A and B are shown apart, each in its own frame.
Chain A
Amino acid sequence: MERILFGDNQFFGVNHSSDEKSRAQAIQFKEDATILKTLDYAIDEGVNTFMCTTHDRISAICDAIRSNTIKYHNFKIYPCLPYAHKYANAVTELGLLGTLKQYVPGNFFGSLFRGGVAIVSKDYIAMMKLLVDAEMKMFKGIPTPVIFLQNVITDLLLGLGMKDVIKAYHQYIISEYNAEPGYITMNMPKLLDFLNAAGIENPIICTSINVDGFRMSGGKEAYEKVLRERELRVIAMQVLSGGAKKPKEAISYVCGLPNIKSILFGASSKANIRETVSIIRDYDLDDENVIMEEYNHIKIY
């Protein structure tokens, strides 16, 4: 994993500290070309991994990436499945069955409804795999070395204690996509226990880590303890706690923690991208551990 990853919230009007800003960003990124231009700013700064949802508009971005193999030869995407609002809105509009009928591909569901009577299949795992395939379709031909489960699903499965479903997802991503499964969560310490109990060791976990303790469920101290003592690969997100913090102070806190492999951030302007990247790189240059790790990383590949 690269040290710095670029996120997509700003492109789709997601802003955790300001509804108003989020609507302004939705206007700013109306055109796909504006999104691509912003990705270019990130690439110019040496950030070659884009971590994104499966929002409908990402499909057009993927087309552009596929059509310019020279420019994007180093470019990778970490998809985050699923784009939950799409399903949440559909459930509100169509109901649960209606949503599954709309989104589970093929006639998987067609065969379940005969003569108006639902013949319920018990093969939920097969359904999950079909949904993963449907979501992954848009990335075909683009390297996707890590595939994430979105926090709303990860945390739902965690709360419901569905170890077998998580395990099935984990194995499917490895076997079908030859990729590493990753997990986005707002409950990192609890999730790590849960994954370990499901037999998943040293997982890739993307989670909120910031100096404010914002969205660090169970408390900042619990997170710091896990980072010091346990085996996991962490991607820190919301390091600026939703954009509200002074970047220098925020990043020095995150970079000073052990076990943070990568930092995920999103920004809308060239200046902000440049500033955030350079603060992280400056901090890392002062930190021997990270340099050693990056050196090891280079050696492996």
Chain B
Amino acid sequence: MIRVALIGAGKMGISHLSILGAHPQVEVVGVADNAHLVTDFLEKYAQYRCFADYNKMIEVTKPDAVVVAVPTKLHSLFVWNLLKNGIHVFVEKPFCLDVDEGLGLIEMARTRNLVNQVGYHNKFIGTFTEAKKIIDTGLIGKIQHFTADMNGPVFIRSKQQNWRSKEDEGGGCLLDYAAHSIDLINYLVAPIDKVHGSMLKQYYNANVEDGVYALLETKNHISGVLNVNWSDETYRKMATTITIIGTKGKIIVDTTELKLYLKETPHHLKYSKGWNLIQINELSESVDYYLRGEEYSAQLDYFIKAVNGDVPNNINNFESANQTDRVIDLIRNFKTN
């Protein structure tokens, strides 16, 4: 059994806790949060040991691994503390507000040989992993261009009350929403290393952006457009669509469907010339316990397996999340320049 604790019992934290609670190889040893309303409830009905101070929790419960789901501005400090104590870390996305702090944490995890993972759950969705396989086998040829569209109904009125509306706490559409798309492009296409233009627009928030629009280029000179808006109520929930066009075909992929167009008949028997439509139910692998999406269980299961040494710690590790932080920085700094 792996002894796991949670820091931060908000929306994502509670969801992680439930998945950990159902995991056959996990013993939940403690929960830290400063909201008494939540910790009292968890203590009373789930019998978890709860703490207001996470350092106290680490000291008392001595976890092997910790899941961190607190506002982004606290990530660096909390993760540093955990690594210092020899604890494996799963932290919510985005990784760090400061790219250099992230580099320090990468080094720390490496020298201490600790498993490190960041919650970019899209890489555990069947449609995106299939898109990655298709691209890597060369089915769509040499990539020419990509677009990443992302929309959702997070802020649709001028009313803001929490950390997502505060830039210094890690709020804003760029960190909260666009980070997912950037991370997916880094994974599917190639790491982005240039920003040729960006606009961060405020529609309902006074302090953070609601829209992120940018012209991007990967290190192997593939161009792309990022188009993200978290203030669009025509979407019921977050929707991410990535379109990638290459010399031999094109992919349009979201969390439910993968559309593949091939110019010629491929050697690959699974797909044929013209349009191919593949839906998530053909691609998703069953999980042992489901809450809100297979990907949330799959990513924590991967983390637990990595702690056990059963899988390499190479999906969503600190290093890949740091590359995403770097692009976030480039997009934001382009604005201030």
A interface with B by C-beta (< 8 Å): 12-20, 22-23, 26, 85, 88-89, 91-98, 118, 120, 122, 124, 152, 155-156, 158-162, 164-165, 186-187, 190, 212-219, 241-242, 244
Q: Pick the contact of A17 from B17, B38, B46, B279 — CB < 8 Å?
A: B279
Contact yes or no, B154 A19, CB < 8 A: no
B residues less than 8 Å from A118 (CB atoms): 36-37
Contact yes or no, A187 B162, CB < 8 A: no
CA distance A156 to B21 in the complex (A): 10
Contact yes or no, B286 A219, CB < 8 A: yes
29 example contacts (A-B, Cβ-Cβ < 8 A) are as follows A13-B236, A14-B236, A16-B281, A17-B257, A17-B280, A18-B279, A19-B256, A85-B236, A89-B154, A93-B154, A93-B157, A93-B159, A93-B160, A94-B162, A96-B35, A96-B37, A122-B44, A156-B15, A158-B18, A158-B289, A160-B42, A160-B45, A161-B47, A162-B46, A190-B289, A216-B286, A217-B288, A219-B286, A244-B281
Residue on A with the closest CB to B297? A217
Q: Pick the contact of B161 from A20, A26, A95, A120 — CB < 8 Å?
A: A95
Contact yes or no, B18 A156, CB < 8 A: yes
Beyond A88-B11, A92-B11, A242-B281, is A159–B37 a contact (Cβ under 8 Å)?
A: no
Contact yes or no, A97 B37, CB < 8 A: yes
Range class of the B interface residue count = 35 or more
Beyond A95-B161, A96-B38, is A155–B18 a contact (Cβ under 8 Å)?
A: yes
B60 located at the interface, meaning its Cβ lies under 8 Å from any Cβ of chain A in the complex? no
CA distance A156 to B17 in the complex (A): 9
Residue on B with the closest CB to A84? B292
Contact yes or no, A155 B290, CB < 8 A: yes
Write the nearest CB–CB distance from B63 to chain A, whole angstroms.
Answer: 18
Closest 9 CB pairs of A and B: A159-B18, A186-B290, A214-B281, A217-B290, A159-B22, A162-B45, A160-B46, A17-B279, A95-B162
- Highest count of chain B CB atoms <10 Å: which of A17, A88, A219: A17
B residues less than 8 Å from A161 (CB atoms): 21, 46-47
CA distance A51 to B18 in the complex (A): 27
Write the nearest CB–CB distance from A112 to chain B, whole angstroms.
Answer: 9
CA distance A17 to B280 in the complex (A): 6
Beyond A96-B37, A212-B281, is A160–B154 a contact (Cβ under 8 Å)?
A: no
Write the nearest CB–CB distance from B200 to chain A, whole angstroms.
Answer: 20
Residue on A with the closest CB to B37? A120
CA distance A152 to B19 in the complex (A): 12
> A-facing mask of B87-125, CB < 8 A → 1, else 0?
000000000000000000000000000000000000000
Q: Pick the contact of A96 from B10, B22, B154, B286 — CB < 8 Å?
A: B10
Within 8 A of A (CB), among B1-41: 10-11, 14-15, 17-22, 35-38, 40-41
Residue on A with the closest CB to B20? A159
B77 located at the interface, meaning its Cβ lies under 8 Å from any Cβ of chain A in the complex? no
Write the nearest CB–CB distance from B330 to chain A, whole angstroms.
Answer: 27
Residue on A with the closest CB to B291? A155
B interface with A by C-beta (< 8 Å): 10-11, 14-15, 17-22, 35-38, 40-42, 44-47, 153-155, 157, 159-162, 164, 234-237, 239, 241, 254-257, 279-282, 284, 286-292
Q: Pick the contact of A85 from B161, B237, B257 — CB < 8 Å?
A: B237
A residues less than 8 Å from B17 (CB atoms): 159-160
CA distance A12 to B153 in the complex (A): 15
Beyond A22-B236, A160-B18, A219-B286, is A244–B279 a contact (Cβ under 8 Å)?
A: yes
A residues less than 8 Å from B164 (CB atoms): 92
A residues less than 8 Å from B154 (CB atoms): 89, 92-93
Write the nearest CB–CB distance from A156 to chain B, whole angstroms.
Answer: 5
Write the nearest CB–CB distance from A207 to chain B, whole angstroms.
Answer: 10
B residues less than 8 Å from A94 (CB atoms): 161-162
CA distance A244 to B127 in the complex (A): 15
Contact yes or no, B291 A120, CB < 8 A: no
A residues less than 8 Å from B282 (CB atoms): 212, 244
A residues less than 8 Å from B235 (CB atoms): 23
B residues less than 8 Å from A190 (CB atoms): 22, 289
B residues less than 8 Å from A12 (CB atoms): 236
Q: Pick the contact of A164 from B11, B45, B292 — CB < 8 Å?
A: B45
Beyond A17-B257, A96-B35, is A159–B21 a contact (Cβ under 8 Å)?
A: yes
Residue on B with the closest CB to A217? B290
A residues less than 8 Å from B257 (CB atoms): 17-20
CA distance A120 to B161 in the complex (A): 20
Contact yes or no, B19 A159, CB < 8 A: yes
CA distance A213 to B40 in the complex (A): 38
Beyond A89-B154, A162-B45, is A218–B18 a contact (Cβ under 8 Å)?
A: no
B residues less than 8 Å from A152 (CB atoms): 291-292
A residues less than 8 Å from B15 (CB atoms): 156
Contact yes or no, A159 B161, CB < 8 A: no
CA distance A26 to B288 in the complex (A): 32
B residues less than 8 Å from A26 (CB atoms): 234, 236
CA distance A156 to B22 in the complex (A): 10
Write the nearest CB–CB distance from A21 to chain B, whole angstroms.
Answer: 9
CA distance A98 to B163 in the complex (A): 13
CA distance A15 to B159 in the complex (A): 30
Contact yes or no, B159 A124, CB < 8 A: no
